[in-house]
Amino acid sequence: MLFPNCNDSKGNPRQAVGRLSRRRLFAGLIPLCLMLFVGCNRSSDKITVAFISNNEHEFWKIAERGTQKAAEEFGVNVEFKMPSGGGTSAAQRRFIEDLLAKGVRGIAISPNDAVNQTPFLKEVSQQVPLITQDSDVPDISARRCYIGTNNVLAGRAVGALVKEAVPEGGKIVIYVGKLDVQNAIERRKGVVIELAGGEDRCQAELKKLEAGEYPIQFGKYTLIDTMTDDGKQEICRSKADDTLTKHPDVKCLIGLWAYNPPALLEAVKAAGKTRQIAIVGFDENEETLQGIKDGYVAGTVVQNPFMFGYEAVRILARLAQGDESVLDRPDIDEKKRIYIPHRVITKKQPDFTKNSDEHRWVDVEMFHAELKALKGS
């Protein structure tokens, strides 16, 4: 007998031999499967880093293009996460916990609630390199560096647009998603400092602003209120409608997050007050750019989300590999902030004599063509 002692309980040797042969075949397949598994892992054995936005608006899709470009150039994988429904810190925390469980080696985040998220982000930064982008945290020990706009300076550029659009002064209202986000706080501060003619001229007014004691006078301009909308365009539109009803003499509406200017434009159009009420925006939303071309929006201050994404992944990839020299660069300040320059977009031919290290003025047609090329549209 070829396989002695292999009879089953019914004395059938052929069935027993069949079972034994299958056992041996299975045993032989185990190392083969392991070899294939290891081989597959080796083919995709790349560091994975993550980029987490604070909402799901168009701005972040441009940043995603930047992360993809850097991932390709620097040989890493990137997980790009956008919280839905306006974005919450709870959603961002869930993303982080999931990413850490997957073994991600670095995280870039735009915090939705910087103050309250800081203790958690500090814990995360002890496990993997963590950087902030677009919006910083008040405690810089919670991250390795910040990548983004100098938001106070960009806010001053918004203020400069307001002064050009409404040189006589008057009532203004600021709209932004949330005021517990650092970039919103800093942009608004920049706007009013510019309108007042400098920070030294509005110390008492800044205290009122922080306390929410409206109206507040900044130079020739009266800030009626700061309207928040929890990151939802439809709420911004509704609040703009209310403003136009309650304050028919308002001179300028200012939107500090990407979706705010389009919502303000909808409200002004519905009220039949285009070109009567100035709109000044932030970021490069398509409706905002078209509004500038049509003469309904005075201008917008744009960041460079593509470079936010690109630089975040480039830096995280190097830090994950233990290369600390990536942060030894001349454009990083004592608080480990890397500022990506903003630009001021208007319809009229820009006065390039205004260009400086602080602000660069660009024609809307030229900028829009550049943006379309970047989006591949």
Residue 210 identity: E
How far, in Å, CA of 320 to CA of 75, rounded?
12
d(CA 154, CA 268): 24
Count CB-CB contacts under 10 A for residue 78: 27
| Amino acid of residue 327 | L
Residue 57: predicted pLDDT: 82
User: What does the pLDDT average to over 150-177?
Assistant: 96
SS3 328: coil
Whole-angstrom distance, CA of residue 333 vs CA of residue 19:
71
d(CA 288, CA 262): 6
Q: Which residues contact 301 (CB under 8 A, 6 or more apart)?
A: 154, 157, 158, 161, 281, 282, 283, 342, 343, 344, 345
Handedness of CA 85, 86, 91, 96 (dihedral sign): positive
Sign of CA dihedral 162, 165, 167, 169: negative
What global pTM score does this model have?
A: 0.78
Residue 344 tokens, joined: 């001021």
Residue-wise pLDDT tens digits, 263-273: 999 999 999 99
Q: pLDDT tens, 38-74?
A: 444 433 689 999 999 998 888 899 999 999 999 999 9
Q: What is the pLDDT of residues 284-333, one digit of tens each?
A: 999 999 999 999 999 999 999 999 999 999 999 999 999 999 999 999 99
CA nearest to 221, candidates 168, 156, 300: 168
Q: What is the arithmetic mean of pLDDT over 171-182? A: 94
Report the C-alpha gap between 317 and 50 in whole angstroms: 10
In this structure, are residues 158 and 190 in contact, taking their beta carbons and an 8 Å threshold? yes
Give the pLDDT confidence score for residue 295 in this predicted structure: 95
Q: Look up residue 303 and give its two tokens.
A: 């960041």
Is 299 strand, coil or helix? Answer: strand
Per-residue model confidence (pLDDT) at position 44: 61
Edge-first strand listing for the sheet containing 170-176: 216-218, 221-228, 170-176, 252-255, 278-282, 299-302, 343-346, 361-363
DSSP 325: G
With residues binned 3-state (H G I as helix, E B as strand, rest as coil), the percentages for the chain, rounded to 5, are 50, 15, 35
Q: What are the tokens at 222?
A: 């009266």
Q: What letter would DSSP give residue 3?
A: S
For the chain, domains (ranges, CATH) are 48-149+306-339 (3.40.50.2300), 151-302+347-375 (3.40.50.2300)
